[in-house]
Structure 1
Amino acid sequence: MSERIPVKDVSPKPRAAKKRAPVDRYNPQEQIYVREQKGVFQRLRKYMGWFFIAAFVIVPFIPYGDRQAILLDMGARQYHFFSLTLWPQDLLLLAWFFIIAAFALFFITTFLGRVWCGYLCPQTVWTFIFIWFEEKIEGSANKRKKLDKSPWSFNKIWRKTAKHTAWIAVSVFTALSFAAYFVPVKQLWWDFFTLNASGAVNFSVIFFTVATYANAGWMRTIVCTHMCPYARFQSAMFDKDTFIVGYDVERGESRGPRKRNADHKALGLGDCVDCDLCVQVCPAGIDIREGLQYECINCGACIDACDQTMERMNYPKGLIRYTTEHNLAGQKTDVLRPKLIGYGVVLSAMLVAFVFTLLNVKPMQLDVLRDRSSLYNETSEGLVENTYTLKVINKSSEAREFHLSVRGLEEVEWIGQQIVTVKGGEVFSLPISLASDPYLLPRSITDIEFVLESGDDQFIQASRFISGG
């Protein structure tokens, strides 16, 4: 009589996903060590970042006439943009600009998620610059972690000193580049480094140096996740058709390691090899495989890391990709949906209004101030006289000749200059008086208009002529 030998199933079982302890971003002992990653999206992010950084630094050095092309002169309350000079009276343009920026952010976020954060936000760009210095001075992510845990030595001291010196140098350069938009750039650099800058300039440069050093060097994702309001209200603009960085659960699970030539389908495994590279390269330290998280800035680092792993394993790319929740669920993505169209229509209307307002900005302006000491005077000839101070503003960059006149009075005597020449970007104060026969004034208060003319340009400012009845 033979005995049956029991058969035991020894085929490998899918390994459960590793549970990782959450990173306490406020604890410096648990800081995120971002691993360097190369790939399509990282090259795109890097090129875009360098382009806008170069523009940020170079623009103040562009000359225009006897000044720099873009100069926001807060002291003189003049804001120069090449040939256009804006004054506080033109702040409607600034309001339009911020409204357009807000709706552009809403439109882009609804369509492509947080791509602004991942590719163009100064916090992200400068954080990656600081991380680049970390990699060059202290080494890769593992080396940096090992260095931080090691006791203090000459090697650790000089590397830490070099890194923070580089960070401070970048921060000072950034602060000076920002201040150059408000102070003439040549004067700024010379005065700052010769210790002749004003207290306001020194305070501004030091403040923005400290802010850049702290934000990009120490706080990093704390700014994005806990200080920036955009991370909090973005969910109001997201929907299931918004393009996000997403992990294909159906294709990736169950995850687990395997040999390159193994038939992972026969082993009951998905395409995810659980290498954790997507977590190691993430500047926010999140695991995108856990689903959509508000900390994700859509930088695409995890996509590049996963695509390289898929390529090595001879699997199709796109396990982690820019996609939508509907697409991940096997449904069709509706790109042209009412929400996105609505944002686009409003944004287009705002752009039209901005361009219309910009094209109708007059190169001159006239402010009229009545004499506050008396409503009117009577001359020795029996005429009623009103006194005004006219402020002629030349918004252009060149000197112009202006002609002044008044409408609304049948017969009026103009006492003062009617033709004045004003230098570019200056305000000319002109005291004048208007005198009229009281019998020609049927009302005690007559609406009048001061007319300022220069060539084909004309500016009209309303005022009043008071006769006392």
Structure 2
Amino acid sequence: MDNNRIDIKNIPVSVETYKPEQSSQTKYASRDRIYVRSVKGLHQSLRRNMGFVFMALFMLLPWIQYNGTQAILLNIGEQKFNIFALTLWPQDFTILAWIFVIAAYALFFVTAFYGRVWCGYLCPQSVWTFIFMWFEEKIQGSRNQRMTLDKAPWSLSKFAKKALTHFCWLAFALLTSLIFVGYFTPVGPLFINFFTFEAGFWAVLSVLFFTLCTYGNAGWMREIMCTHICPYARFQSAMFDKDTFTVAYDEQRGENRGPRSRKDTDYKAQGLGDCIDCNLCVHVCPTGIDIRNGLQYECINCGACIDACDDTMTKMGYPTGLISYTTEHNLKGQKTRIFRGKLIGYFLVLVLVCAAFVINLALRKPLELDVMLDRGSVGGSLYRETASGLIENTYRLAMINKSQQPITLLLSVDSAEPLQWIGPTEVSLAGGESRDVPVSLALDPNEANRGRIIIRFSITDQANPALTVSQESTFFAGR
């Protein structure tokens, strides 16, 4: 018997897998429609007035004329953006980049200070949704009337109300889509050509696309855009802290909830708080949440629940502010720190990027020059010899007048060698015009050394000699 042998014992192993119980319920619950109740109050008046002002600006700005042209025209086809006296070209991409960076840090700063107020007061999705809900309320009635209408069987009255509602939605979506596309193409001809069926393919396609998107987003999807699609709802919590002002419910004051009579003054002796559990804060919420459940990412800080609750507290004779813009520290009886590291950091970065934008804009010259050696004119060669024995190089001077005023430019070249200029020495450009001007330079090989000669082209404003733009290039004088 081998004493070094190790006996092997077979141990049966059974792997248990978890199988969830089969249920007749669907995997995902269907979306329940939210019937938003209208409410009046300070915050809703502020929201409506701000929405009205910015909607009016949105609709009026494309119609404003400046120097005989559309004041704001983002012409993608011609690759230039006219914003009143400012014309931006692809070369000015850094300016657009700074604008986006400023907008981002301004959003971060506001969010760290006052929560998601951008969503509740100025976000286009929220503004259009509130307008669509206004149409719905005016045509179909109040919240209870709309719920009753949807439960009722189809009739001529129900069909008429539904059809009129969707007609108004589509009409408003079409109007705003035409205006939006009017920022990218002349708005006057767009309206005329669209309704006379003479608009171009891409213009019509863009208008119809944005019409359907607006109709779908504001009419059907609504809170889904805020709760499931918008990325801001997901990363906003990274900017929140315990000193951020958000819409919150004072649980210590409100609990326990329960109904009672207005004349009931000893409700606290019964163990009740100030919340009468009327659920109006839920009925007026555009995303359908219950703010009493605590901070939720679906909340867009529109303040509708604050106005509804304050109205109820006033009727009951209780102090207002059961739901308010407050901080987590304040709810716990601690002091709120307004000036804190995160907020100061966002503010300082915002100031820096604003300064960088202003400096970039101030240093921007209204002229652009790009010099390209034209080989095509000499069969792909860098230079050619003329019949008189001169060495000639041909260039294309790409010039852009970034201003909106006509300008006359003087063309010149600086060189250590005696180059002969062949071509125009004066060019006039209209406001916002770009032009390629071919010029040639010739050199007598007997008057200079052959080889590679560094030269510098310049364009100068005839009316303002201080405005000069130069670019270095090379003259090839052979071997």
- Decide: shared fold, TM above 0.5: yes
Match of 1:275 in 2: 278
Give the match for residue 140 of structure 1: 142
Partner SS for 2:268: coil
Q: Match for residue 367 of structure 2?
A: 364
State the AA in 1 paired with 2:429.
V
Q: 1:25 deviation in Å?
A: 10
- CA change 1:438–1:314 in 2 (3 A) is farther
Give the CA deviation at 1:458: 1.5
Task: Give the TM-score normalised by the residue count of structure 1.
Answer: 0.92
Residues 24-58 of structure 1 deviation map (CA, whole Å, 9 limit, x = unaligned): 99835x20000001100000000000000000000
State the one-letter code of the partner of 1:186. G
1:261, CA displacement in angstroms? Answer: 2.1
- Report 1:311-322 matches (<5 A): 311-322=314-325
Q: In the aligned structure 1, how far is the partner of 2:149 from the partner of 2:329?
A: 44
Tell me the distance in 2 between the aligned counterparts of 1:116 and 1:143: 31
Which residue of 1 is the match for residue 133 of structure 2?
131
Query: Identity over the aligned pairs, expressed in percent?
Result: 57
Question: Are 1:49 and 2:56 matched, yes or no?
Answer: no
Within the candidate set 269, 275, 280, 1:266 is matched to: 269
State the partner residue of 2:472.
Answer: 462
Corresponding residue of 2:418: 411
Between the aligned partners of 2:28 and 2:450, the Cα distance in structure 1 is 73
Bigger drift between 353-362 and 301-310 goes to 353-362
- Counterpart in the other structure of 2:225: 223
Structure 1 range deviating more: 267-276 or 381-390: 381-390
> Matched residue pairs, number?
445
Q: With CA pairs under 8 Å and 6+ residues apart, which has the higher RCO, 1 or 2?
A: 1
One-letter identity of the residue aligned with 1:153: S
Structure 2 distance, partners of 1:213, 1:147, is: 21
User: Counterpart of 2:472 in structure 1: which amino acid?
Assistant: A
Partner residue of 2:256? 254
1:393 to 392, 397, 400: 400
Partners of 1:212 and 1:429 lie apart in 2 by 42
> What is the identity, as a one-letter code, of the residue corresponding to 2:403?
S
Q: Any unmatched runs of 5+ in structure 1?
A: 1-23
Give the secondary structure class of the aligned counterpart of 1:355. Answer: helix
1:58 aligns with 2:65: no
Please report the TM-score for the alignment, with normalisation by the length of structure 2: 0.90
Matching residue's letter, 2:340: R
Runs of 4+ with deviation above 6 angstroms: 439-443
SS in structure 2 opposite 1:265? helix
Tell me the residue number matched to 1:13: none
Do the aligned residues in 2 keep the contact of 1:33 with 1:145 (CA within 8 Å)? yes
Deviations 1:95-127 (A, max 9, x none): 111111111111111111100000000000000
Q: Describe the SS at the equivalent of 1:164.
A: helix
AA paired with 1:270?
A: G
C-alpha contact 1:25 1:31 (8 A) present in aligned 2:
no
Which runs of 5 or more structure 2 residues have no equivalent in the other structure? 1-26
Q: 1:449 aligned to 443, 456, 460, which one?
A: 456
Q: Distance in 2 between matches of 1:421 and 1:71?
A: 24
| Contact 1:138–1:144, Cα closer than 8 Å, also in 2 | yes
In structure 2, do the counterparts of structure 1 residues 345 and 170 end up closer, same or farther at CA, with 3 Å as the change threshold?
A: same
Instruction: Render the CA deviation track for 1:119-156: whole Å, top value 9, x for unaligned.
Output: 00000000000000110000011111111111000110
1:433 maps onto 2:440 in alignment: yes
Would the aligned equivalents of 1:78 and 1:86 in 2 still touch at CA under 8 Å? yes
Match for 1:199 among 198, 201, 208? 201
Report what 1:183 is aligned to.
Answer: 185
- The counterpart of 1:296, out of the listed 295, 299, 318, is 299
- Whether contact under 8 Å (1:326, 1:333) holds in the other structure is yes
- 2:185 aligned counterpart, secondary structure: coil
Q: Distance in 1 between matches of 2:474 and 2:297?
A: 58
Q: Which amino acid aligns with 1:399?
A: P
Q: Which deviates more, 375-384 or 437-446?
A: 437-446
Say whether residues 1:285 and 2:291 are aligned partners: no
Closer/same/farther in 2, CA of residues 234 and 405 from structure 1, 3 Å limit: same
Q: More deviation in 402-411 or 34-43?
A: 402-411
CA distance in 2, matches of 1:380, 1:335: 80
* Structure 2 residue matching 1:385: 3-state secondary structure: strand
Letter in 2 for 1:295: E
Are residues 337 and 25 of structure 1, via their aligned partners in 2, closer, same or farther at CA, if it must alter by over 3 Å?
Answer: farther
Q: Could you tell me which residue of structure 1 aligns to residue 121 of structure 2?
A: 119
The amino acid that maps onto 2:291 is I
**Secondary structure, counterpart of 1:401 in structure 2:** strand
